[in-house]
Amino acid sequence: MLAAAGSPALRAGVERVPLTRSVVRRFVPGDDLAAALGAVRTLGESGLTVSLDHLGEDTTSAADASATVDSYRALLAALSEAGLTAAAEVSVKLTALGLSLPDGRRRALDNARLVAAAARAAGTAVTVDMEDHTVTDAILETVLELRQDFPDTAAVLQAYLRRTAADCRVFAGPGSRVRLCKGAYDEPADVAFSTRGDVDRSYVECLGILMAGQGRPLVATHDPRLIAIADALAVRNGRVPADWEYQLLYGVRPAEQRRLVEHGFAVRVYLPYGDQWWGYLMRRLAERPANMAFFLRALATRG
């Protein structure tokens, strides 16, 4: 699945099958702004906040990177106009903002500043998603530069990387928003833990560092054991629900999302929208064999 995420031929084949859409809709509520705003409102009725991702990654031209900035500006303006920015922030991928282009570092930073400025004008903030390990340093350094002007910019750290406990110590300072996830890319064994047990142990160690720190941990997982451990670590560190939050993906364990809200926790749903859903969908299918079966069944039924 993770290899398929990078295959243009497979992508073209699957996109030609219209019913693929119904599978996509489980994880991506729609292609356009109206669908995204509708989902924000619906989730808001259950007390859920959101982080919106305008889908796209690995942009190969400066014009596409600028178009991504324009999409985020339009999104933030629409959220503001609809009075939804108290409950909604945005997540951006630096490769969608041009990080892989020849002058990528400078371009991605400049474009990220434009998105962060639009977020501030709308009364909200940005999270910079984490991508594969070849760009970890570039992304974290860019977040630190962005934070000079936009201190509420959140970083994302992946527990499967062997380096991440050390990164958590760097990012656990006052006011620092840090999303901790397991990690979704196919990484070599010298940079990432490969067994579930090792990844989970690393997640708990990293969470311990963030909860004991002075920042705002954003606990991104659907794993029931880790969800329970986060609550216990928060209590042990004297944190109240306003000091940290759970984050889950749109369409994954929706009943758990509502249960956590009902128990008084702050819960944010990662909400992707747009027509560039291929890479995102492949990562979600790779996470769970049952999702893959669901996807293949939908394709077979159509065929």
Q: Which residues bind ligand FDA (CB under 6 A)?
A: 129-130, 156, 158, 179, 181-185, 220-223, 247-249, 252-253, 270, 284, 287-288, 291
| Whether 21 is catalytic | no
Q: Give me the residue label for tokens 């702004």.
A: 33
In the three-class reduction of DSSP (H, G, I as helix; E, B as strand; rest coil), residue 249 is classed as: strand
User: What span, in angstroms and rounded, lies between the C-alpha atoms of 130 and 136?
Assistant: 7
Residue of 179, 216, 268, 284 marked active site? 179
Q: Residue 79 or residue 139: which is nearer to ligand FDA going by CB?
A: 139
- In the complex, what is the shortest distance from the CB of residue 131 to ligand FDA, in angstroms, rounded to a whole number? 7
- In the complex, what is the shortest distance from the CB of residue 169 to ligand FDA, in angstroms, rounded to a whole number? 20
Q: Residue 52 or residue 234: which is nearer to ligand FDA going by CB?
A: 52
Give me 231's structure tokens: 């609550």
User: What span, in angstroms and rounded, lies between the C-alpha atoms of 144 and 150?
Assistant: 9
User: What span, in angstroms and rounded, lies between the C-alpha atoms of 127 and 152?
Assistant: 9
Q: Residue 14 or residue 269: which is nearer to ligand FDA going by CB?
A: 269
Q: Residue 161 or residue 209: which is nearer to ligand FDA going by CB?
A: 161
Residue of 53, 129, 152, 167 marked active site? 129
- In the complex, what is the shortest distance from the CB of residue 81 to ligand FDA, in angstroms, rounded to a whole number? 25
Give me 302's structure tokens: 């159509």
Burial of 134 (0-12, 13-18, 19+ CB in 10 A): exposed
Give me 14's structure tokens: 């699957």
| Whether 196 is catalytic | no
List, by residue number, the catalytic residues.
129, 179
